[in-house]
Structure 1
Amino acid sequence: MKKLAAAALGSLMAGGMVMAQQTVPGMADRLAACIACHGKEGRATADGYYPRIAGKPAGYLLNQLQSFRDGRRRYPMMNYLLANLSDDYLQQIATFFAAQHPPYPPAVPSDAGAAVLERGRLLVSQGKPAQAIPACASCHGAGLAGVQPGIPGLLGLPRDYLNAQLGAWRNGERTARAPDCMGEIARALSPEEINAASSWLSAQPVPADYAPASAPSTPLPVACGSMPGTGAAR
């Protein structure tokens, strides 16, 4: 996979970053480096690490591309690939993948015990009210499908990927535009709680009509930089 990604990256770079600053035809052909890791149409691959990007809200995808370019998220290949790309071109990439809707594969059964899965279910659906930690569903939607323009869906993602990202937020390796709501939430969770939530989420089937909501159904419980003006400050 690394050789394939490197070859695709080399092909893209050979095309010239000057072209990346322009609106060009054949967008799918231009995204060979993305597809090498994230799979055809951005549907993800079976290695359990690279996430699905197909069908995510375009605003969310743009935020992540900008974060990799600007150093708020760190992964060497992504940082290098995006370093010289303009906001306009990143928007084109985000819009392309947001419009892709390939089917999801069946959920992978979890090897976590029943107690761990139940703990995860409660964190996702109820949060930790005594510690003022909101439920995942209160921001990501009742069906966990995400909310336009900036909140992603949580189903159909591998447990290893979810653990890695929540762990990165908890350890300060991943940040977002202030207020960094996910950073605050992840730091308030224990590693065991993160594993429980990731185990439960990754084991859930994805409904056929899974798609982000057009807007929050209620005000978000916390202020979040990815959704300005939609949440209350704690």
Structure 2
Amino acid sequence: MRRLFRRLAVTVAAFFAMQAMAADTPPVPDTLVQRIAACTSCHGEHGEGGSNGFNPRLAGKPAGYLHRQMRDFQRGLRHYPIMEYTVGPLTDDYMREIAEYFSAQNVPYTLHDVPATSPAAMARGEQLVTKGDTARGIPPCMACHGPNLTGVQPDIPGLVGLPYDYISAQLGSWRTNTRNTVAPDCMKTIVSRLSDADISAVSAWLAQRPVPADAHAEPAGSVSPPLRCGVLGAGT
């Protein structure tokens, strides 16, 4: 009986000690900055992008674009385990709040190293970005992403300031079906017409482009996309 009472006393004492410790622990502040800690751990404190060349910049991107990417991960249209796990339980309102936060951030761009690229490849990259390749049905990147490649509100992202590795990886993802979006998926159509050399050339030329003084996305309606795109409201 004495042993039973001793055990009970120890259990009760431990319980109250744990309660006291819990009471002394300050609550985690319920702020947006705290709640997006999972985002900033990879994409930078203000969404400026990671240093590894694969975690892209979020700061200043159109909110509609950022929101759609999170939804695409939720819906299984885009595949990357970390992102799928992170956004899986989020509500639509929460994702919109996150998108608006990062869209409003204005921090300097960091340019990354570009692999050694021949002048001929750079010229090919410039051609595809600025003029396209009519013979192969490839429109210029500028036709959708804007004349300064800074994107267009509310759904088209800027391409300036993105690392070579990220650009080439995303173009490759459309090929391997690990990146998709709502139909008709105009980017998938375009990428299917690019060769491996084209992808490398476009990635290199874009990655070495200087960022304009005003890198804000162009106003809605500034471009007339040459292909029907589901993300821009075109039906299937």
TM, length-normalised to structure 2:
0.84
Q: Report whether the alignment pairs 1:46 with 2:51.
A: yes
Kept in 1, the 8 Å contact 2:137–2:193? The answer is no
2:190 aligns with 185
Provide the rounded CA distance (Å) in 1 between the counterparts of 2:43 and 2:121.
Answer: 29
Q: Can you list the C-alpha shifts for 1:184-215, whole angstroms capped at 9, x where unaligned?
A: 11111111101100010001111121110112
2:110 aligns with 105
One-letter identity of the residue aligned with 1:77: I
What's the secondary structure of 1:226's corresponding residue?
helix
Shift of 1:171: 2.1
2:207 aligns with 202
For the structure 1 residues 108 and 216, does the alpha-carbon distance in structure 2 shift closer, same or farther, using more than 3 Å as the test?
farther
Kept in 1, the 8 Å contact 2:55–2:166? The answer is yes
Q: Report whether the alignment pairs 1:143 with 2:140.
A: no
1:21 aligns with none
Provide the rounded CA distance (Å) in 1 between the counterparts of 2:81 and 2:112.
Answer: 29
1:170 aligns with 175
One-letter identity of the residue aligned with 1:184: T
The answer to which of 107-116 and 56-65 deviates more is 107-116
One-letter identity of the residue aligned with 1:188: R
Q: Report whether the alignment pairs 1:34 with 2:43.
A: no
One-letter identity of the residue aligned with 2:123: E
One-letter identity of the residue aligned with 2:130: S
Shift of 1:109: 5.0
Unpaired runs of at least 5, structure 1? 1-23
Which structure's CA Rg is the greater one?
2
What's the secondary structure of 1:123's corresponding residue?
helix
Kept in 1, the 8 Å contact 2:46–2:105? The answer is yes
Q: Report whether the alignment pairs 1:129 with 2:165.
A: no
The answer to which of 140-149 and 110-119 deviates more is 110-119
Shift of 1:111: 1.7
Provide the rounded CA distance (Å) in 2 between the counterparts of 1:160 and 1:218.
Answer: 27
Unpaired runs of at least 5, structure 2? 1-28
Q: Report whether the alignment pairs 1:81 with 2:66.
A: no
RMSD of equivalent CA atoms: 1.7
What's the secondary structure of 2:230's corresponding residue?
coil
Q: Count how many residue pairs are aligned between Structure 1 and Structure 2.
A: 208
Provide the rounded CA distance (Å) in 2 between the counterparts of 1:44 and 1:218.
Answer: 27
1:17 aligns with none
One-letter identity of the residue aligned with 1:197: V
Give aligned-pair identity as a percent: 46
